[in-house]
Amino acid sequence: MAKPNIKHILADLVLLLVLCLMPAPAWCGSKKKAVERPLRIACVGNSVTYGYGLHHRDRDAYPVRLQQMLDSTYGANRYEVGNFGHSGSTLLYKGHRPYVKTPEFRQALDFRADWVVIHLGLNDTDPRNWPDWKEDFVPDYRALIDSFRTANPEARILLCRMTPIFDRHPRFQSGTRDWHAQIQQAIEQVARGAGAQLIDLYTPLHSRPDLFPDALHPNPEGARILARTVYGALTGDYGGLRLPPVYSSGMVLPRDEHLLLEGQANARQNVHAVLSKDGKVVEEREAFTRADGSWCFELPHMKAGGPYRLTLTSTPLNPDHYHLYYPEKYPYLLPNLTKAKAQTLVIDSLYFGDLWLASGQSNMELRVDQCNTLQEDLADAARLKGRLHLFNMPARARTDAVEWPDSVLRFTNELRHMDLQGWHMASPEVVRRFSAVAFNFGRVLCDSLPDVPIGIICNAVGGSTTESWIDRTTLEWEFPNILTDWRNGDYGQPWARGRMTQNIAHALDKESAAYNPLQRHPYEPAYLFEAAIAPLGHLPVKGVLWYQGESNAHNIEVHERLFRLLQQSWREHFARRWHCEFQKKPTLPFYVVQLSSLPRPSWPAFRDSQRRLALELPDTWMAVSSDVGDAADVHYRTKRPVGERLALLALKNTYGRDTESEGPTLRTAVLGPDHTIVLQFDHADGLTCSRGFELAGTDGLFHPATIQIEGDKIRLSSPDVKQPATVRYGWSGFTDADLRNRQGLPASTFMMDVK
C-alpha cells in the first residue's frame, strides 16, 4: 500500500477551507442569508437627552420615543437608538463637567453609530464655563465630531440647535439668555464648517413654556416633540406637502408687489406650482425642499383680480440627482419617501388684491349682529357681490367669568385657542358674525377701490392684553420682567389677571387631575402671538387695524413701551418675506383706534398717550372714537363710523387719495392778548365746537374755558385763570367734547402746555 502524499493532503485541506469560507451561491436554498445588523443611532447629549426629571425615563426620554417612532414606521430591528446622555455635561473640554470625560462618551464611541445626533451646549451657559472658555467651543465641538468620525468614518453627524431656556431660569437675565444665543450661533457655525446637518430643537418648543417645569427640562410631551423633530431630520419625513392654514380657497394675496410663497413638505422633494385662470396657465414655478422640509418660491407681480387656481404638487427627487441640488455630504432618503406618490394641494379660488389684518380686544371683536346698524350693514354686505373676502379667527372659548373645563385648558396649552374658520365671501350670513369695525373698513375700501379684491383677517380676542400679542423673543430681550409670573405680578391689569385666574382655576387646583401651574391663557405675555399671529405665517398683509388698550389703560408708561414692541414684533414677522437684502422692506402701517368714552379715571390720559404715540411712531395713524362711546357700556354699539374713519386714514396714507381723513389736530398753543390762549389746528376746515376745553394756570387747577372760533384757530379764556399755562380738551373718562371739522371728524383728547 502506497504511502499518502502529505503535500496532496495539505492542498486538499486548503481547498476545502476556502470552499467553506466562500458565500453560498444565490441558487443554494439550503444556506441561510446573513442577518444585517440594525442601523445604529447614537443620541449624544446632556440631561435633556438623558431624560432628567421624567418620572418614567425608560419610557418617555426622547431617544426612547424616537425608537418607538422608527419601529412604528419601518418595523422592529431596523434601527437601534442608543441614549448616551449625561446630565450636567458640557461641550467645552475645560467646562466643569466635560462630556468627553463621561462614561457615556466612551460608550457612544464603542457603539460605532451610523448616525450621531448631538445636543450639547445648555450647560455651557453656566458662568463657570462660557465666560472663560467660549473661544474653545468651536474647536472642541469639531474635535468631538472627529471622534465619532474616527470610530465610524461613514457616520452621519447631526447637530442640534439647543432647546430653549425660559425666563423662569434663575440665571436667565444674568447671562444665560445672552450666552444661550451666542452658543446657538456657534453651533450653526460648527455645522457649516463640519458639513453636518442642523436640527432645530429650539423653534418647535420655544412657544411651549408650559412643557418645561423647571424652565430647562421638557416634560413627557416636550420629549415627544423633541423625538418627532429628530425623527423628521433623520428620515426626511415632515408630514408631507402643506401650507400655513390661512392659505386656502377664497383667499386674497397681494397685488402689484413681491410675493414669497412658503410651505413645508418632506425633504428632497420637487414642489411644482401652476397658477392658472380659466383653464389657461398663467405662471409656473418650481422649488426644491431643503433638509428641514421647507420650500419657497416667488410669484410674479400680479394685477388685481381673480379667481385664479393655484396647484402645488410635490414629488420625490431621484436619489441619483441629489448631488445636483444639495451640497450636503450625506444625500439620503428612506425607502418610503423615495417611492412615495405625488401629493397635490389646490387653492381653487385665489384672488390678488389687498389683504388687511384686524386685531385687538373686544371692541374689535364685537360682531355686526351686536351693533345698532345691523340692517344697514347686512344690506351693504349683500350688495358687495363677492368683492370682500373675510377670514374669521374667533376664540374657541370666551374669557367670560367662568371656570374652563379640561378640554379648553388642553387646547389652550396646545396653542389651538383660535378657531380658523376659513375664507368666505362677504354675505349677510357671513358678515353678521364678523367684526363690525373690520367689516365697515372693508366696505369703504371696496366702494373706493371697486376693481380690487379686499381681504380681511380678524383674530381679535376679548379682554386681551398688549403683551399677549408680542412674540416671546422680543419680550425676552426687551422686556423680560413682564414674562415672570405674570398672573401674580403687577404689570398686568388686575382685572385681566383676575379673569385669567378664574378661567384656569381647575388647572391651579392641586387636587385636580388637570393640575398644571404653568397652564396657558390668552392674556399671558406672548400667548396670542403664538396662537393667533404665528399660524398666519409671514403673510403679506398690507396693513394692520388695531383696537386694543382697555386692558392696559391702568399703566400708561408700560403700555407705551409695549405698543412700540408690538409694532417692532409684527413688522419683523411679516417682513420676513422680503428675503433679499437689496429689496426695500416697506414699513407695515398701523391704523389704531383710540379708546372711546367711558367713565374710568385713567382713560383721558391714556387717550392722550395714544395720540402722542401715533404722532411719534412711523407709519402710525389714529382714528378717534370718543364721540360714539357709551357711558354705561365699554362695548358701545356704534361701530360703523369707526370702521369708516379707519378706511379714510388708509385711503389717505396707504392709497394716496386726496381726502380728509383726520379730525382737528392741535399744532400750537400760544399766549394771546388779555390772558387768552390761541390754539392753531391742522385738519381745521370748518371748525365747530361748543364745549370740552379747560385752562389751568401755574397752580395746575383747571377751569372751563370760553371758546371763540377764528378760522383754523380757537381762542380760549377763563375768568378764573389769569396766567394760562396749560390747556386740555375732552379730559374726562366719558366726554361730551364736540370739536369737529367740516367733514364731521372729531378731535382727539389732548393736553398741552402753553408757549
pLDDT in tens, 186-209: 999 999 999 999 999 999 999 999
pLDDT given at position 585: 63
What does pTM read for this prediction?
0.92
Which positions of the chain have pLDDT values less than 50? Answer: 1-35, 327, 329-331, 333, 578-582
Name the helix (H) or strand (E) containing 240: none
Please check whether the two domains, 39-235 and 665-753, share a CATH topology. no
Look up cell 385636580; give the residue. 512
Is residue 334 within 8 Å of 407, Cβ to Cβ? no
The grid coordinates of residue 731 equal 379730559
CATH of domain 361-652: 3.40.50.1110
Look up cell 419601529; give the residue. 71
Residues 6+ apart with CB under 8 A from 270: 286, 287, 288, 314, 315, 316, 317
- According to DSSP, residue 466 is labeled G
Give the closest residue to 50 by CA, choosing from 92, 94, 107: 107
CATH of domain 39-235: 3.40.50.1110
Q: For residue 711, is it left (φ>0), alpha (ψ between -120 and 50) or beta?
A: left
pLDDT given at position 322: 60
620-668, pLDDT tens digit by residue?
999 999 999 999 999 999 999 999 999 999 999 999 999 999 999 999 9
The grid coordinates of residue 253 equal 394675496
Bridging pattern class, strands 726-729 and 693-696: antiparallel
Top CATH class, 665-753: mainly beta
Look up cell 412615495; give the residue. 340
pLDDT given at position 575: 85
444-453, pLDDT tens digit by residue?
999 999 999 9
3-class SS of residue 663: coil
Name the helix (H) or strand (E) containing 363: helix 362-365
What are the boundaries of each domain within the chain? 39-235, 252-351, 361-652, 665-753
pLDDT given at position 331: 44
Q: What is the rounded distance in angstroms from the CA atom of residue 462 to the CA atom of residue 417?
A: 13
3-class SS of residue 246: coil
HEC profile of 639-680: CHHHHHHHHHHHHHHCCCCCCCCCCCEEEEEEECHHHCEEEE
First to last CA, the chain: 139
pLDDT given at position 385: 83
Q: What is the rounded distance in angstroms from the CA atom of residue 337 to the CA atom of residue 342?
A: 10
pLDDT given at position 338: 58
pLDDT given at position 324: 53
Q: What is the rounded distance in angstroms from the CA atom of residue 109 to the CA atom of residue 612?
A: 64
pLDDT given at position 337: 62
Architecture (CATH level 2) of domain 252-351:
Sandwich (2.60)
Is residue 665 within 8 Å of 683, Cβ to Cβ? yes
pLDDT given at position 325: 52
334-367, pLDDT tens digit by residue?
555 656 788 999 999 999 999 999 999 999 999 9
91-137, pLDDT tens digit by residue?
999 999 999 999 999 999 999 999 999 999 999 999 999 999 999 99
